[in-house]
Chains A and B, each alone.
Chain A
Amino acid sequence: MQQLIIDRIEDNTAHLEDNDGSITQLPAAWLPTDAAEGHVIDLILTTEPHSSSITLRINPTATRERIEDAQNLRAQLRKGPEGDIDL
């Protein structure tokens, strides 16, 4: 099952990030109505003899996990000085 992440939604266009970081654009109207930027979207393919369809479904667990991973990564960075600094 393929997963895409919503990078941003601008002017009715959704920008979805693929596994390799490349961006695919889709009409925002094709997304689930509750979808928002940062959501992980599962692509579920259904095929029948004369048609096929792809369902886009928000994956709340994967969405939460990815945000937690990002928080953990950021927390590992060495803290820089606070206040005004000379570069």
Chain B
Amino acid sequence: MTRYLTRRLATSLLFRVTRRYLPFIALLLLLRFAFALEITVLDVNQGTAVLIQAPTGQTVLYDAGPEPSITRDLQALGVQHINLAIGSHAHADHIGGMAEVLNTYKPPMYMDNSIAYGTRTYQRTLEAALAIDAQLLEPTRRILSLGDVTLTIVPPPLINTDNQNNNSIGVRIDYGEFSAFLPGDAEPEQWEWWLNNHPDLLTPVNIHLSSHHGSRHGDTQAGINALQPDVVIISLGANNTYGHPHVEALRLYHQVNANVYRTDHNGHIQIKANPDGTYVLRSPPQAAAQPLTTTASATNNAAAQQTTECINLNTATQEELQRIIHVGPARATAIINMRAAEPFNTIDDLNRINGIGSGRLNDIKNQGSVCRTTKTSTAEPD
């Protein structure tokens, strides 16, 4: 009886305290997100565009995707102004929409890799920068402060200027304990130069934008080992002609236990980061893709924990695998043995399993219980 009364009293007290302080708790949560840094990797098909919005209001656009239509994406995301537009390098899949961005948003500052390029796209970009009287920032190593958020320019080597990819402007983003790295399309030569000349900027980060859209010619083992990202985001188009992401790149990310997200699967991917190192990944509602519902903490360097359940072919247990249609104990064992030799990259890789042909593969896809990407733990069932 006494225990019953005690329990009722405690419940009642908890209820009253919760009710009394609920507005304060809600306010604290709101304030937490009000002071978050937002990084949005836009779904621009096969190209790159990353929006960086500081809690103090400054906005930087890193690359402008392949098409002028990026301005519609930015408007849909509610972007009112841009303080600085950066073209990581002059290829059209990175600056195809830059002239329109400059014409529309008239940022007071513009930065490129300083290599004069002969394309009409680059010419239109410069003409637009001239027309709005934007200040030209040279891509030297420097810190750009957006309140408490800092962007450190990781400079291009400018040694062999015939290669645009290997003269990408890199950006390291820091906000308290949170950090991210944007490498443009840096290839092995540039990674080696960065590691030799700016090793202090290539230290562990929470978020890494896959170099060169997940190409085998982008990120390197040494670069990824230095960055040790929790999460890798690949900006790429669906069914692109290059076969991106290449398995070699995915394997690099797998080796450091990074979770991988892809714009071709998830649409825009937005990170809301707090100075204590915690961050949330989601798809903004403007994008058609489903929410990612992923949270992570940088303090324990934990990989993002997915909250939507799907069966990951590279991590699921024998019992979990048997929840997949047409997968019994023998095929579950085969999956486990096969992934040890080579991780599964997509659900289609299941056709490597004896007895799973196109018909059964379709049944598995229709069942919808297997994660679309496997090692990568994207929380979106196929």
Q: Which of A1-51 contact B (CB under 8 A)?
A: 5, 7-8, 10-11, 13, 15, 17, 19-21, 23, 25, 36-40
> Is B91 in contact with A70, judged by CB distance below 8 angstroms?
no
Selecting from B126-134, B203-211, B260-268, B290-298, the interface stretch reads B126-134
Closest 10 CB pairs of A and B: A80-B135, A66-B118, A70-B116, A77-B136, A73-B126, A71-B116, A80-B137, A84-B143, A11-B242, A87-B58
> Is B136 in contact with A7, judged by CB distance below 8 angstroms?
no
Which of B66, B119, B136 contacts A74 (CB under 8 A)?
A: B136
Q: Which of B107-129 contact A (CB under 8 A)?
A: 109-110, 114, 116-124, 126-127, 129
Known: A23-B92, A84-B145, A87-B83. A74 touches B241 (CB 8 A): no
C-alpha gap A11/B93 in the complex (Å): 15
Which of B110, B121, B146 contacts A17 (CB under 8 A)?
A: B121
Known: A82-B140, A84-B142. A70 touches B118 (CB 8 A): yes
B320 at the interface (CB under 8 A from A): no
Cβ–Cβ < 8 Å partners of A7 in chain B = 91-92, 119, 121
15 contacting pairs across A/B (C-beta < 8 A): A7-B119, A7-B121, A17-B92, A21-B96, A21-B124, A66-B118, A73-B123, A73-B127, A74-B126, A77-B129, A78-B133, A84-B145, A85-B142, A86-B144, A87-B145
B164 at the interface (CB under 8 A from A): yes
C-alpha gap A82/B66 in the complex (Å): 29
B200 at the interface (CB under 8 A from A): no
Which of B135, B145, B243 contacts A86 (CB under 8 A)?
A: B145
Which of A5, A25, A79 contacts B119 (CB under 8 A)?
A: A5
Q: Which of B134-176 contact A (CB under 8 A)?
A: 134-138, 140, 142-146, 162-165
B60 at the interface (CB under 8 A from A): yes
CB distance from B33 to the nearest CB of A (A): 22
B84 at the interface (CB under 8 A from A): yes
Cβ–Cβ < 8 Å partners of B114 in chain A = 74
> Is A87 in contact with B60, judged by CB distance below 8 angstroms?
yes
B215 at the interface (CB under 8 A from A): yes
Which of A10, A21, A37, A82 contacts B120 (CB under 8 A)?
A: A21
B residues near A, CB below 8 A?
A: 58, 60, 66, 83-84, 91-93, 96, 109-110, 114, 116-124, 126-127, 129-130, 133-138, 140, 142-146, 162-165, 215, 217, 241-243
Given contacts A66-B123, A70-B123, A73-B130, list 9 more A-B pairs with CB under 8 A: A10-B215, A19-B120, A74-B114, A74-B116, A77-B129, A78-B133, A78-B136, A87-B58, A87-B144
- Interface residues of A toward B: which range? 35 or more
C-alpha gap A33/B332 in the complex (Å): 50
Which of B109, B116, B124 contacts A67 (CB under 8 A)?
A: B116
Known: A23-B92, A36-B162, A87-B83. A67 touches B142 (CB 8 A): no
C-alpha gap A64/B155 in the complex (Å): 26
Cβ–Cβ < 8 Å partners of A87 in chain B = 58, 60, 83-84, 109, 144-146
Cβ–Cβ < 8 Å partners of B96 in chain A = 21
CB distance from A10 to the nearest CB of B (A): 6
CB distance from B329 to the nearest CB of A (A): 41
Cβ–Cβ < 8 Å partners of B165 in chain A = 8
C-alpha gap A70/B124 in the complex (Å): 10
Q: Which of B118, B122, B134, B242 has the most CB of A within 10 A?
A: B118
C-alpha gap A63/B215 in the complex (Å): 28
C-alpha gap A79/B66 in the complex (Å): 27
> Is A67 in contact with B58, judged by CB distance below 8 angstroms?
no
> Is B130 in contact with A77, judged by CB distance below 8 angstroms?
yes
Cβ–Cβ < 8 Å partners of B137 in chain A = 80-81, 85
**Closest residue of chain B to A78, judged by CB?**
B135
> Is B117 in contact with A67, judged by CB distance below 8 angstroms?
yes
Cβ–Cβ < 8 Å partners of B83 in chain A = 87
Cβ–Cβ < 8 Å partners of A40 in chain B = 118
Cβ–Cβ < 8 Å partners of A76 in chain B = 130
CB distance from A64 to the nearest CB of B (A): 9
CB distance from B147 to the nearest CB of A (A): 9
CB distance from B171 to the nearest CB of A (A): 13
> Is A21 in contact with B121, judged by CB distance below 8 angstroms?
yes
Which of B119, B130, B143 contacts A38 (CB under 8 A)?
A: B119
